[in-house]
Amino acid sequence: MSKVARILFLVVAFATISPAFAADESLLYVTDMHFDPLADASIVPKLMEQPVSKWNEIFQSSNKKELSGYREDTNFALWQSALKAMKQTVSHPTTVVVGGDFFRHTFRADFEKLYKEQNPGKTDIRSVYPVFIQKTIQFLVRGLVEQFPDAQFIPVIGNNDSTCGDYMVALRDPFLKDFANAWQQASKLSIPTSESSDFASSGHYTTTLQHNSKLKIIVGNDIFMTPQYNGRCGNSFVPPGQGELAWMDQQLTAAEKAGQKVWLITHVPPGVDVTRSLYKSMTGKKSAVSPMLKEDYNQRYLDILHRHAKDILIHFTAHNHFDEIRVPGGEVAVLMAPSISPDKTNNPTFQVFDVDAKNMLLKNFANYSLDLSSSSTQTWEKIVDFDQAFQQKEVSLESVKAVEAAIQAGKFSDDYSQMVTSKGALAKTFFTLAKKAYVCGMSEMTLPTFQTCIDKED
């Protein structure tokens, strides 16, 4: 063998067995599952009695085999369909972001009602419910990790994820410890054990990208900052939102000093809740424009983003079930991921990103959706390819700003409508009627500026 041939052989062999970075890595983003273990009330007693290892078998024994429909949360059939589709679409994602809201809406209230109906005279509901949600989170975590055992998982707390109920996660909420334990027991690549104490206290943590420690991942718990937040289950005399903002600022400052770039991940985005605002307007309620975050927190949040904009590569969020983009101050690209739950008449959807980990670059993303209006198929299909639809070459601040400017100018309306609503027919009609509001929501992050944008004549 010649010297050149030997060198080529060694290069090929090394690249085959030990790549420093994959040429194309992938990130799976799944969020707002709102899983409903109560969808078939008849099997709930068995779920309560049996260990989590038996839950698949119990769900499969249910006579209710149909997928969840519009205005419903995710039942077992839809969740299994989503898991299968994710595995078929991206068999070995490097990273899986699970963006929060694991549990169905009004979970605690509906569980308590059902439990009382099935167990008249029993008064142990306060001890029974925490055990049931602990088992539910273990079931969901196991399902994801079994599909993607080698992935790095980045889970986020949503507003439905707590012991007490919706928007009621408290400092040192017992569920936070259960949540971290479920992930850490299932996957070695999830919430770092060094962050366990902090997470059990506040529901936030930091980590680094598996294949590039120069990229810091800051996972915040901004449920504390929402207008709906109710902390009556907590024992803190200081509003948790203040501490959360201070923690985020500290982590971003530390990243800057360490020369790291950042993915900032929270459940709730900054700015205006366009969907809620439109609903309130249509129902004639006062103060129709609703913020995502409480107004004073929102402004401080925006100030933090402004100060650290050069270090934030992307701000991943979720919560609204629609896939929107935002560019606060023209300085930070905010991506709002679509939901698995179809409760807002959207089609169930997940996202897959192409990642260049070495260069800390998101190259593209695509949305995969299940059309619930079609009774003839249960096929999840690609409905949006960001680069193709919007004529971009990457997903970055510059590209998102370019897309925002194009949409503001009246281009890509159909593509953006399809992206936002996941091709849900009713949701698309709603978007079409209220397109201006969604366009204003891209850049106007405060109530006054959003209202001015809405009132401005075209």
When the pLDDT of each residue in the chain is averaged and rounded to a whole number, the result is: 90
Check if the beta carbon of residue 264 is closer than 8 Å to that of residue 312: yes
Read off the pLDDT of residues 156-196 as tens digits, 9 standing for 90 and up: 999 999 999 999 999 999 999 999 999 999 999 999 999 99
Look at residue 205 and tell me whether its pLDDT is greater than 80.
yes
Number of domains in the chain: 1
Cβ neighbours for 319, distance < 8 A, ≥ 6 positions apart: 32, 99, 100, 101, 158, 159, 267, 268, 269, 292, 336
Q: Partners of 353 in the beta sheet?
A: 27, 365
Kindly state the DSSP code that residue 222 receives in the 8-state scheme. Answer: G
4 found inside a domain: no
- Segment 70-88 shows an average pLDDT of 96
* pLDDT (average), residues 411-424: 84
Q: What is the pLDDT at residue 21?
A: 33
The confidence score (pLDDT) of residue 417 equals 84
* Sheet architecture: strand order including 380-385: 152-155, 95-98, 25-30, 349-356, 361-370, 380-385
In a domain, 8, yes or no: no
Model pTM score: 0.91
Average pLDDT, stretch 198-205?
A: 96
Range name among 5-19, 36-50, 62-76 with the lowest pLDDT average:
5-19
Is 5 inside any structural domain? no
Domain limits at 431?
24-455
| Percent with pLDDT over 70 in the chain | 91
Query: Helices marked H in 18-61 — which ranges?
Result: 44-49, 55-60
Please check whether residue 146 lies inside any domain of the structure.
Answer: yes
CATH number at 433 reads: 3.60.21.10
Give yes or no for a contact between 271 and 292, defined as CB atoms under 8 angstroms apart. Answer: yes
Task: State residue 266 phi and psi, 5-degree precision.
Answer: -140, 170
Instruction: Give residue 16's pLDDT.
Output: 34
Residues 439-457 have a mean pLDDT of 90
* Element at 432 (helix H, strand E): helix 425-433
Residue 15 lies in a domain: no
Q: Average pLDDT in the 196-206 region?
A: 96
Instruction: Inform me whether the pLDDT recorded for 1 exceeds 50.
Output: no
**Confidence (pLDDT) at 436:** 86
| CA of residue 391 relative to chain centroid, distance | 25
187: DSSP letter: -
Pairing label, strands 212-219, 261-265: parallel
Question: How far apart are the C-alpha atoms of 321 and 421, rounded to whole Å?
Answer: 8
Q: How many CB atoms lie within 10 A of CB 36?
A: 23
Rounded Cα distance, 9 and 14, in Å:
9
Find, among 153, 178, 171, 43, the residue nearest to 103 by Cα: 178
Evaluate whether residue 9 is within a structural domain: no
Amino acid identity of residue 424, one-letter, is: G
Q: Does residue 99 contact residue 29 with C-beta atoms inside 8 Å?
A: yes
In a domain, 376, yes or no: yes
* Residue 282 confidence (pLDDT): 58
What pLDDT score does 236 carry?
A: 62
Q: Residue 43 falls within a domain, yes or no?
A: yes
Mean pLDDT within 5-32: 54
Residue 98 has pLDDT above 90, yes or no: yes
